């Protein structure tokens, strides 16, 4: 699991700051000179970050099944029940 954020970057064609249509890892946001929107932080599985540290365009974390977002918690609970 890793944290990703929405971000804003400057669009030279419109001379405005625009919000990304993707989430990205903080190091990628910093590398491209964008500004992370810290209140959009989410924890997702690496498989949802296939594009060099970015999610698909219009990635919607609400569509990830709850059990998948909490995979670690499920595993820990399962391990406890085995004891």
Which residue would you say has higher pLDDT here, 83 or 33?
Answer: 33
pTM (2 decimals)? Answer: 0.71
pLDDT tier at 19, thresholds 50, 70, 90: very high
Print the domain residue range for 22: 2-82
Which of 20, 57, 45, 50 is closest to 35 using CA atoms? 20
In the chain, pLDDT over 70 holds for what percent of residues? 86
DSSP letter string, the chain: -EEEEEEEEEETTTTEEEE-SS-B-HHHHHHTT-EEEEEEEEEE-GGG-TBTTB--TT--GGGS-HHHHTHHHHHHHHHHHH-
pLDDT at 31: 96
Domain count within the chain: 1
Q: How far apart are CA 16 and CA 30, in angstroms?
A: 19
- Per residue in 32-70, pLDDT (tens digit) is 999 999 999 999 988 889 888 999 888 888 777 664 655
Q: What is the pLDDT of residue 64?
A: 74
Query: Rounded mean pLDDT of the chain?
Result: 86
Give yes or no for a contact between 23 and 6, defined as CB atoms under 8 angstroms apart: yes
CA distance 53 to 65: 21
Mean pLDDT for 8-14 is 94
């Amino acid at each position: 699991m890793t944290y990703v954020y929405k971000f804003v970057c400057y669009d030279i064609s419109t001379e405005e700051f625009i919000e990304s249509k993707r989430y990205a890892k903080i190091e990628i946001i910093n590398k491209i000179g964008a500004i992370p929107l810290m209140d959009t932080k989410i924890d997702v599985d690496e498989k949802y970050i296939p594009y060099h540290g970015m999610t698909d365009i219009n990635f919607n974390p609400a569509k990830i099944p709850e059990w998948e977002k909490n995979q670690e918690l499920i595993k820990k609970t399962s391990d406890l029940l085995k004891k």
